[in-house]
Amino acid sequence: MLLSLIASSQSSLNDYNMAIIPARFDFQKEDNQYRINSTIKTFLQQKGFEVYLTSDDLPEGFMDYNCNKLVVKAIEENTTFVTKLKVEFRDCKGKLLFATDLAETREKVFAKAYNQVLLKTLSTFSKANYRYSGKTYFDEEADEKIKNRDVENVSVEVVKKEINESYVRVLNKTNQKELLLYRTSNPNVFLSIYSGSNGIVVSKENNWFFEYIDGDKTASEKLDIKL
């Protein structure tokens, strides 16, 4: 039973539907050389992944938290007359979740050689039996954004307000501590910490409330702030 619990807590390829690919792998002399990177991107898109190269125009907030996506790398293991390649899928901590089979060719023209081995190695991705589990990383992402913030016992009396694309920062007049409200897709809902509790700040009838879990129920506290 213990081994089953440990196994179920470990991440797997099926826990991800987003991926990031370096624009240049270690063995390449320029971005997307031989179109290796963009070919992997297209392949993963066909498998249902939301995937980008690091050189792409990334969606807002895509890189704010990285542990909800795979890091994909092509690994070259060439010898003098043989081109060898495989593709690795790792989590944000570097743990290997899956690797395609090492493919090889003796083709002498580099562009053709890399194209051949890339298609061969990607064809073995089917061995992963990939099927997205539907796992979400909302709680982990929220914790990452608001961790290490000293916001306990923040007063609602605001002397200064700072607004940017990711958050709204309000400064307490009395003790100079700050309250950070992280934006979500809903303009009337923010992620935050207040009085030591994780929760959300939500607008209701032109008033703002901090809502959080207190034991087995949801608690709500009115905040006298204007955003």
Q: Which fold has domain 2-128?
A: Double Stranded RNA Binding Domain (3.30.160)
Instruction: Output 91 or 181, whichever has higher pLDDT.
Output: 91
Residue 166 Cα to chain centre, angstroms: 15
Amino acid symbol at 70: L
Model pLDDT, residue 167:
73
Is a pLDDT exceeding 90 seen at residue 98? yes
* Domain spans in the chain, listed from the N-terminal domain onward: 2-128, 138-223
For 177-189, how does the pLDDT look when each residue is reduced to its tens digit (9 = 90+)?
A: 567 788 888 888 8
Q: What is the length of the chain?
A: 227
Q: Mean pLDDT throughout 70-95?
A: 94
Q: Is the pLDDT of residue 210 over 80?
A: yes
pLDDT band per the 50, 70, 90 thresholds, residue 175: very low
pLDDT band at 28 (very low <50, low <70, confident <90, very high): very high
Averaged confidence pLDDT in the chain: 82
Residue type, position 189, single letter: V
The 10s digit of each residue's pLDDT in 35-60 is 999 999 999 999 999 999 999 998 88
Average pLDDT (187-197) is: 80
Decide if pLDDT at 34 tops 50. yes
Rounded Cα distance between 154 and 162, Å, is 16
Distance CA 202, CA 214 (A): 17
Q: Report the C-alpha gap between 29 and 13 in whole angstroms.
A: 29
Check whether 119 has a pLDDT greater than 60.
yes
